A and B are shown apart, each in its own frame.
Chain A
């Protein structure tokens, strides 16, 4: 008997007095010793293959993006046929192809519940087996030779759809490094530490050769020199079988202590190599690569026989079953079908568990399919849950944690929603092994808290990223607008200056006018006219430059809208010029019009319109006065007159525009308040009232017509969609070139209304 054996015997004796002393036998911190129940299924032979009535094949794996289907509903497929594949670069998107586990017909491609704790649905291929099990032999078209480079191996593994079968389900091809020689030690994980699960145990007993060969193939491709396999001492049969298969090969079989969670990647790595993986480091960077025994067996079958991964050994066990067993289950077999085979003691009206009792989760629907990571289907009848008590800060959890975390601290901070602190306590290093919950005397479901905290932290980081992106994009947009504005201004200025120069050249001969007031008025009018002309030219120009040659068939609506926008800008220009020169009109900004109060906005707009009208009149009168007083009626004067006329005409046109804008302001503000459409109508009415009280002019009629049209439009809309109140009020204007836009909008709106009505009807029909 050598000293280490002596030590273990001594400790085993000591453990009777001091149970925690068993933890001295293994190298990692903590760990627990649960009751294993492994004999339930380990003593049974592997059950013969079974083809269920239907197979459900999720397109999405636990890790990575979903694959894209290659088959159609109703198509007949053979075993091993490729059903879905990545269309993008699979390396980046971590997409795993899906193969048919048996021959049959594609019944549907539809969302089905996934074996995921959320119970969410996702696209799945539903296959109806025909029982013939007609297979494509060597579907991957391999020649059986061992790949000599990591790339060759990776491509085979990708096409075979192999993922880590121990639990996480990370695509194996993505796990393997590209450079040969980067991995010096290959590790085989045969330490199946979770209670109840025996599928790896039985796989090692029955297919030891395949596992060892798979490891040799991988080591050959990667140039790894050492292969170590760790198997827990409670699987003596497996150890013997593996030792036999590994004789005369470089594979070293080591037995490791039976302690939960020995099968954890970091824990077993530490146990076998003495290397403790640093925080956030990947094993691959340290030259170590660990894979599960089932993964190695799958690699062997893919490389030598060209078989994609379409079935796996699954343990069907639990205290609620009469005949637990292990079976080579086809991927996609519903859980309930397998559980029924094991003769449940009572009807399975309780949720089954995927995985073991420590790390597994309850599925939301017992018909979820076996996926590549399903190692166990557990049917444990629900037990009364022990009442959760307050934490007594006993520190048991801390002593049990195999990762040396501070479970109790993380629990407190999670409860307080201080997720940043939880993250600082390295919650992402938590392997969710459940040791802490297992030992907690207060029965606190600690792991649930960490899972919750992890998803909250992940969401937090995603949000931070989105926020940063939004900020950048917003700043970019502001910069762009600023730049465009500068460019526009520069062009405008150039134009203005050119016009000014011309005007100056004309003005110099008639500089000495007797009537100073008349002159200033005339000047103001001229300057305004010049500006308008410049603006118009400008807008025309920008129109031209902005619109690449548009085919006539394209909607004219946009053009009209642009013109309207240009006119709006022009109007603003006018306003500013008028206010600066005549100093009659108080400076008015767009903001004022968009005041949240609908009524005040309407009033303000009306006032403005009235002001403008009076101002225009005044201008006209002063100008006429200047006309009378100035004896000469030269070319300049005529030009001014022409400009004036144009201005008047434009103002007449713009009046309805202003009205429209007011309307829009009303509706804009009415929208957030969810006010009735009525409000708009009343606002419009009020508008009419306020405006009619001002001195009537010949423009009045035009404006009235505009208001009427707007009102009609509102009424029409109201009739069209009586239920919908949040309709955007973009009213029609009587302007001829607005007509097309109006029509287009009206048409679109009608379409929308029709669609909505149809939807409503169908909804009602459904009810």
Chain B
């Protein structure tokens, strides 16, 4: 009888120590859920969610302070992924935000640019190249299409243009699928 109690006490102690050690040794830095959410967000950094960037939105979500349906560029898919990660209920996207549009990148009409550097300050990913009083240009590869630079331009010379289709990024169309009876 006494042996059994001792054995179990010993075991409890051992596991307690093990668990305690593990929680110290394998402590996770930062907020793993925010990281996870940040991964599924499109990283457009457009701020349309009302947060200054994707990361802050992810953190707000992880802390349960935000709705799941705020990321407009991500659309429904991202909303579903977020709700899966956070365990929050899915919510329909706001009106008119659901339909995904083809990716666009900013284009600066270099004849009109006065080089005011306003757009450079606005761009979240430093995709605009230029210096004071020099014409500016967009590094297409790095532009996320967040449209933040469009309204700030005083001479209205930035516009969003769809990404050009070349033989390199052309996609084979999906074959016409037949409706299968299910």
Binding site for B on A (CB under 8 A): 60, 62, 114, 116-118, 120, 122, 388-390, 415, 445, 448-449, 451-452, 454-456, 459, 462, 466-471, 473-478, 547, 554-555, 557-558, 561, 668, 671-672, 724, 726-728, 730, 744-745, 748-749, 751-752, 755
CB proximity of A365 to chain B, nearest CB, Å: 14
**Contact status A470-B142, CB under 8 Å:** yes
Residue in A456, A467, A671 whose CB lies within 8 Å of B171: A456
6 residue pairs A–B, Cβ–Cβ below 8 Å:
A390-B178, A456-B171, A468-B43, A470-B125, A728-B154, A745-B155
Inter-subunit contact B42/A122 (CB<8 Å): no
**Distance between B11 CB and nearest chain A CB, rounded to angstroms:** 42
Q: Are A390 and B180 in contact (CB under 8 A)?
A: yes
Complex CA gap A474/B45 in Å reads 8
Quick check: is B177 within 8 A (CB to CB) of the other chain?
yes
List A contacts of B80 (CB < 8 A). Answer: none
Contacts of A469 in B (CB 8 A): 125, 142
Q: A120-B165, A451-B172, A728-B154 are in contact. Are A558 and B117 (CB under 8 A)?
A: yes
Give every chain B residue within 8 A of A755 (Cβ-Cβ): 111-112
Give Cα A743 to B114, complex, Å.
12
Render B154-182 as a binary contact track against A, CB cut-off 8 A, 1 for contact. 11110000000111011111110110110
Q: Provided the pairs A122-B167, A459-B171 are in contact, do residues A474 and B124 lie with their beta carbons within 8 angstroms?
A: yes
The answer on a CB contact under 8 Å between A471 and B167 is no
Minimum Cβ distance to chain B for residue A758 (Å): 12
CB atoms of B156 and A727 under 8 A apart: yes
- Asked if A448 meets B124 with Cβ closer than 8 Å, knowing A390-B178, A470-B43, A727-B156, the reply is no
Query: Closest Cβ of chain B: how far from A59's Cβ, in Å?
Result: 12
Query: In the complex, are the beta carbons of B166 and A120 less than 8 A apart?
Result: yes
Residue of A nearest to B171 (CB): A455
Distance between B75 CB and nearest chain A CB, rounded to angstroms: 13
Chain B residues with CB under 8 A of A751: 111-112, 155
Can you name 7 extra interface pairs (CB under 8 A) apart from A120-B167, A470-B124? A451-B172, A555-B133, A558-B115, A558-B133, A726-B156, A745-B116, A748-B155
B114 to chain A: closest residue by CB: A748
> Which of B45, B153, B166, B172 is A117 in contact with, Cβ under 8 Å?
B172
User: Taking chain A's interface residues, is the majority helix, strand, or loop, or is none over half, making it mixed?
Assistant: helix
Choose among A448, A558, A726, A748 the residue that contacts B172 (Cβ–Cβ < 8 A): A448
A445 to B178, CA, bound (A): 11
> Which residues does chain A contribute within 8 Å of B177, judged by CB atoms?
415
CB neighbours (8 Å) of B54 from chain A are 471, 474
Q: Does B132 contact A (CB under 8 A)?
A: yes
B16 contacts partner chain A, Cβ-Cβ < 8 Å = no
Given A671-B151, A755-B112, are A477 and B124 also a contact pair (CB < 8 Å)? yes
Chain B residues with a Cβ under 8 A of chain A: 38, 42-45, 53-55, 111-112, 114-118, 124-127, 132-133, 141-142, 144, 151-157, 165-167, 169-175, 177-178, 180-181
Task: Report chain A residues within 8 Å CB of B42.
Answer: 467
Task: Indicate if the CB atoms of B43 and A467 lie closer than 8 Å.
Answer: yes
CA distance A118 to B169 in the complex (A): 10
Complex contacts, A672 vs chain B, CB 8 Å: 151
Q: Say which residue of B151, B170, B171, B178 sits within 8 Å of A728 (CB atoms).
A: B151
- A726 proximity list for chain B (CB < 8 A): 151, 156
Chain B minimum-CB-distance residue to A559: B132
Q: Which residues on the A side are within 8 Å of B170 (C-beta)? A: 116, 118, 120, 455
Q: Once the chains bind, are A749 and B156 in contact (CB under 8 Å)? A: yes
In the complex, A752→B172 CA distance in Å?
40
Contacts of A467 on B, CB cut-off 8 Å? 42-43
By beta carbon, the residue of chain A nearest B123 is A477
| Nearest-CB residue, chain B, relative to A450 | B172
Nearest Cβ on chain A to B76's Cβ, whole angstroms:
13
Inter-chain contacts of B124 with A (CB < 8 A) = 470, 473-474, 477
Candidates B45, B116, B117; contact of A470 at CB < 8 Å:
B45
Complex contact A745–B171 (CB within 8 A):
no
Contact A390 B181 (CB under 8 A): yes
Q: Is the CB of B126 within 8 A of A118?
A: no
Closest CB-CB distance, B67 to chain A, in whole Å? 17
| Docked CA distance A455–B127 (Å) | 26
C-alpha spacing A459/B177, complex, angstroms: 21
Shortest distance from the beta carbon of B71 to any chain A beta carbon, whole Å: 13
* Shortest Cβ distance from residue A478 to the other chain B in the assembled complex, whole angstroms: 7
Given A477-B124, A477-B125, is A745 in contact with B114 using a C-beta cutoff of 8 Å?
A: yes
Complex CA–CA separation, A671 to B152 (angstroms): 10
| A561 proximity list for chain B (CB < 8 A) | 116, 118
Chain A residues with CB under 8 Å of B153's CB are: 728
Docked-complex contact B144 and A466, CB < 8 angstroms: yes
Chain A residue numbers with a CB within 8 Å of B115 are 555, 558
Contacts of A117 in B (CB 8 A): 172
Cα separation A470 to B45 with both chains bound (whole Å): 8
Find chain B residues with CB under 8 A from A744 CB. Answer: 114
**Minimum C-beta distance from B114 to chain A (A):** 5
Q: Which of chain B's residues have a CB closer than 8 A to the CB of A415?
A: 177
Q: Which 6 A-B pairs have the closest CB atoms?
A: A455-B171, A451-B172, A473-B125, A748-B155, A448-B175, A118-B170
A478 touching B53, Cβ below 8 Å: yes
Q: Indicate which residue in B142, B172, B173 contacts A473 across the interface (CB closer than 8 Å).
A: B142
Residues of the B chain whose Cβ atoms lie less than 8 Å from the Cβ of A60: 167
User: B171–A470 contact, CB under 8 A?
Assistant: no
Alpha-carbon gap, A470 to B73, bound state (A): 14
- Asked if B171 and A122 sit within 8 Å, CB to CB, the answer is no
Nearest-Cβ distance from residue A412 to partner chain B, whole angstroms: 10
Bound CA span A462–B103, Å? 13
Give Cα distance in the complex from A452 to B171, angstroms: 7
Q: Assuming the A-B contacts A451-B172, A728-B152, are A752 and B178 also in contact, with contact meaning beta carbons closer than 8 angstroms in the complex?
A: no
Q: Which of A122, A473, A474 contacts B166 (CB 8 A)?
A: A122
Q: List A contacts of B174 (CB < 8 A).
A: 448-449, 452
For residue B112, which residue of chain A has the nearest CB?
A752
Chain A residues within an 8 Å CB radius of B154: 728, 730, 745, 748-749
CB-based contact A473/B126 at 8 Å: yes
Name the CB-closest residue of A to B42: A467
Residue of B with least CB distance to A445 = B175
Please determine whether A749 and B155 come into contact, CB atoms closer than 8 angstroms. yes
The verdict on A476 contacting B126 (CB below 8 Å), with A390-B181, A558-B117, A752-B155 known, is yes
Chain B residue numbers with a CB within 8 Å of A116 are 167, 170
| A361, closest chain B residue (CB) | B172
